[in-house]
């Protein structure tokens, strides 16, 4: 277990919240992932940003939410992958597909910073393994114009709530019939 996985107060708090919140399983069965994300962000945003430095906390928060919901949405993904000395947050469906046919794979980057230069440097490294810019998505704590599809997770603008459906839509458009379960 690496240091990131040992003890993370944000993820611990998030999963404790999910476990004690009764309507989440019902919403999952109804495939209402946007409602779940909105509820989780609304109920926990202010507390989460007090647990760690804000950008780091929101990175952990978004990552935890995505890991939980990708599993429950039955969307194939690989998380925390290292390729060519680069750590990738999430690859959909997997690294094998990304290496074989980049147009069929999605890379989701969740930077621990809102510094544009840092993010662009990270994206440039990702472009070495995912040359299709449209297939690199960012999750950020504030809106930045970086020329990439961006989802914002914060308590004013929460476009992040649509990410599961957009991932399913991407997967459906790319012919993976396993994802038709979401009927998008």
In the chain, the number of structural domains is 1
Q: What is the pLDDT of residues 117-140, one digit of tens each?
A: 999 999 999 999 999 999 999 999
**What is the spatial distance between Cα 103 and Cα 110, in angstroms, rounded to a whole number?**
20
What integer pLDDT is reported at residue 175 of this predicted model?
Answer: 56
pTM score, whole prediction: 0.87
Domain interval for residue 13 = 3-182
Q: What's phi and psi for 27, nearest 5 deg? A: -65, -35
Helix and strand tally (H, E) in the chain? 8, 5
Say what the pLDDT of residue 6 is. 64
| Residue 102 vs residues 99, 149, 164: alpha-carbon distances, Å | 6, 16, 20
For residue 120, the domain's CATH number is 3.40.91.80
pLDDT tens for each residue of 35-86: 999 999 999 999 999 999 999 999 999 999 999 999 988 888 988 888 777 8
């Amino acid at each position: 277990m690496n240091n990131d996985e040992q003890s993370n107060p944000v993820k611990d708090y998030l999963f404790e919240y999910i476990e004690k919140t009764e309507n989440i399983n019902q919403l999952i069965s109804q495939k209402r992932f946007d409602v779940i994300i909105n509820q989780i962000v609304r109920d926990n945003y202010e507390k989460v940003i007090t647990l760690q430095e804000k950008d780091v906390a929101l990175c952990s928060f978004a990552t935890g939410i995505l890991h939980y919901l990708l599993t429950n949405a039955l969307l194939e993904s690989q998380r925390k992958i290292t390729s060519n000395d680069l750590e990738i947050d999430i690859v959909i469906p997997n690294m094998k597909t990304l290496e074989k046919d980049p147009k069929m794979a999605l890379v989701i980057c969740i930077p621990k910073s809102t510094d544009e230069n840092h993010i662009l440097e990270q994206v440039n490294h990702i472009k070495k393994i995912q040359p299709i810019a449209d297939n690199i998505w960012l999750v950020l704590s504030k809106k930045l114009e970086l020329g990439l599809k961006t989802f914002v997770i914060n308590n004013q603008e929460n476009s992040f709530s649509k990410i599961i459906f957009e991932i399913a839509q991407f997967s459906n458009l790319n012919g993976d019939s396993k994802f038709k379960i979401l009927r998008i």
